[in-house]
């Protein structure tokens, strides 16, 4: 069936590239419907898009669309993908906050289709903390950003904020349209982030895990139609909309939350960086230097349960269990040892250190099985999430 992209066009100099995006999508066999903001019409007349599309262009909330009294709802329903290109800082802010004061933003709020944004703005507007926060909010909600990187901007400044090239925008849109609901009816359980093990009310043991990989897996699984349970330690990431979120602190709490969901899961991905041990007797009051030196300098530790090993030890044959191994050396050998020790079906081996792995947006990993391994190129965490799910699904079938 022919796919429909609703192309949201906002008011900025890069708008001329939207025409090329439209043509590129059409060449790929995609039907495009354009919705413009009023500011966009100051740069290009709707007639330009109408001529390219051979369909009416939507601008105002109260315009007459032939035979369609509530145009924003019909547009929202027609979309297989809602693509905003170029997207100004102002429209991005509205999308982040659910403001719906024109046809474009109302359609964005009403659609259940995936949303992609290709930002275009001045470098200082791009770098402004407000814009950056809006981007994080939208990304956490699963909105995909198609960024250009650095370059010359219309205002003469050099920096980030330039609209991505039309070919790249078209390629990203096509990729998003091709995502199928191949995980519909499946339950994917994901652990993410670090665990935090208290020493006293102020101090704790933890690690540098950001949770980004686990959250990306949860988002990818949701986009592919799965029911998702995301059990996460403390991270600075917003809820993954649509997932069953369990926010926990300690390894024991994580174990209990995973235990409750595991039996129903078809695929379980253990990406959390669980602390191997916890202070045996966390103090209820803050330990004081001097008086509590003994307790502070010699923290007695108790080993935490290995959540992955415990769950995989009781898995049914039709369940697929994926673990992670963050290593600074001998990735494949160490990952394979973990695979056997923990009874996982696959281990995602990950070289960390020297700027790789923790708190970065890109990863270079190797999928390790009992009898073989597959090296993947350096990729962002969203692509890695899909690659892991592809692999798990293959095992499931
Ligand atoms: N894991 C877990 N529960 C733990 C420890 C680890 O579920 N208590 C899971 C992680 O989520 C990951 C895998 O086991 O999928 C590997 O974790 P890692 O910390 O790298 O391995 P360890 O067994 O702790 O080995 P080492 O610290 O020696 O590398």
The answer, yes or no, to whether any atom of ligand 1 lies below 6 A from the CB of 324, is yes
Task: Note the pLDDT of residue 157.
Answer: 72
* CA dist., res. 53 & res. 7, Å (int): 11
Determine contact, residues 220/213, Cβ cutoff 8 Å. Answer: no
Task: Note the pLDDT of residue 72.
Answer: 66
Task: Note the pLDDT of residue 369.
Answer: 96
The answer, yes or no, to whether any atom of ligand 1 lies below 6 A from the CB of 276, is yes
Q: Give all strands (DSSP E) within 266-393, no chain letters.
A: 267-270, 277-279, 301-303, 320-327, 346-351, 362-363, 365-368, 373-375, 379-380
> How many angstroms separate the alpha carbon of residue 278 from the centre of ligand 1?
14
Task: Note the pLDDT of residue 99.
Answer: 97
Q: How far is CA 269 from the centre of its chain?
A: 15
> How many angstroms separate the alpha carbon of residue 233 from the centre of ligand 1?
14
Query: What residues pair up with 258 in beta bridges, in sequence order?
Result: none
Determine contact, residues 213/363, Cβ cutoff 8 Å. Answer: yes
Determine contact, residues 364/378, Cβ cutoff 8 Å. Answer: yes
Task: Note the pLDDT of residue 348.
Answer: 97
Residue that has been written with the tokens 């909105």 in this structure: 143
Total residue count of the chain as it appears in this document = 397
> How many angstroms separate the alpha carbon of residue 397 from the centre of ligand 1?
27
Which of the residues are catalytic? 155
* CA dist., res. 308 & res. 321, Å (int): 8
In the chain, the domains with their CATH numbers are: 4-177 (3.40.50.1950), 187-282+293-396 (3.40.50.10300)
Q: What is the pTM of this model?
A: 0.67
Phi, psi of 8 (to 5 degrees): -85, 125
Determine contact, residues 228/281, Cβ cutoff 8 Å. Answer: no
Determine contact, residues 217/199, Cβ cutoff 8 Å. Answer: no
Task: Note the pLDDT of residue 61.
Answer: 74
Query: Closest ligand 1 atom, CA of 311?
Result: 7
The two tokens of residue 310 are: 């415990």
Mean pLDDT in order along the chain per 10 residues (397 residues):
92 94 92 94 92 82 62 83 97 97 94 94 93 92 83 72 92 86 92 98 95 94 91 94 93 98 98 98 94 92 98 96 94 96 96 65 88 91 91 91
Non-local CB neighbours of 156 within 8 Å, separated by 6+ positions: none
Phi-psi region of 232 (alpha: psi -120 to 50; beta: other; left: phi over 0): beta
Task: Note the pLDDT of residue 59.
Answer: 83
DSSP state of 3: -
């Amino acid at each position: 069936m022919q796919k429909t992209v609703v192309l949201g066009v906002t008011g900025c100099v890069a708008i001329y590239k939207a025409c090329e995006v439209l043509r590129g999508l059409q060449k790929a066999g995609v039907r495009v419907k354009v919705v413009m903001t009023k500011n966009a019409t100051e740069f290009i007349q709707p007639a330009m898009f109408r001529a390219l599309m051979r369909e009416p262009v939507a601008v105002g909330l109260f315009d007459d669309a032939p035979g369609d009294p509530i145009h924003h709802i019909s547009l929202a329903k027609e979309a297989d993908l809602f693509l905003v290109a170029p997207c100004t800082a102002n429209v991005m802010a509205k999308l982040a906050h659910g403001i719906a004061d024109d046809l474009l933003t109302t359609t964005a709020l009403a659609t259940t289709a995936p949303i992609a944004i290709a930002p275009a703005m001045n470098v200082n507007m791009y770098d402004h903390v407000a814009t950056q926060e809006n981007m994080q909010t939208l990304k956490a909600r699963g909105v995909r950003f198609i960024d250009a990187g650095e370059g010359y901007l219309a205002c003469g400044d050099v920096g980030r904020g330039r609209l991505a090239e039309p070919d790249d925008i078209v390629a990203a849109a096509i990729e998003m349209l091709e995502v199928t609901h191949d995980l519909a009816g499946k339950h994917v359980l994901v652990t993410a982030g670090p665990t935090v093990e208290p020493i006293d009310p102020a101090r704790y043991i933890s690690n540098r895990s950001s949770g980004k990989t686990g959250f990306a897996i949860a988002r990818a699984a949701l986009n592919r139609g799965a029911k998702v349970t995301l059990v996460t330690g403390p991270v600075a990431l917003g809820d993954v909309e649509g997932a069953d979120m369990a926010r926990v602190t300690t390894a024991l709490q994580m174990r209990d939350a995973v235990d409750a969901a595991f039996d129903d899961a078809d695929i379980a991905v253990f990406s959390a960086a669980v602390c191997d041990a916890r202070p045996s007797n966390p103090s209820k009051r803050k330990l004081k230097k001097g008086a509590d030196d003994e307790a502070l300098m010699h923290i007695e530790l108790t080993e935490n349960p290995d959540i992955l090993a415990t769950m995989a030890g009781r898995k049914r044959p039709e369940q697929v269990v994926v673990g992670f191994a963050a290593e600074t050396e001998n990735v494949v050998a160490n990952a394979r040892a973990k695979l056997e020790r923990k009874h996982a079906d696959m281990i995602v081996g990950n070289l960390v250190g020297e700027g790789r792995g923790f708190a970065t947006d890109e990863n270079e990993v190797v999928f390790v099985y009992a009898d073989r391994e597959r090296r993947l190129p350096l990729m962002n965490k969203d692509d890695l999430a899909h690659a892991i799910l592809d692999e798990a699904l293959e095992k499931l079938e």
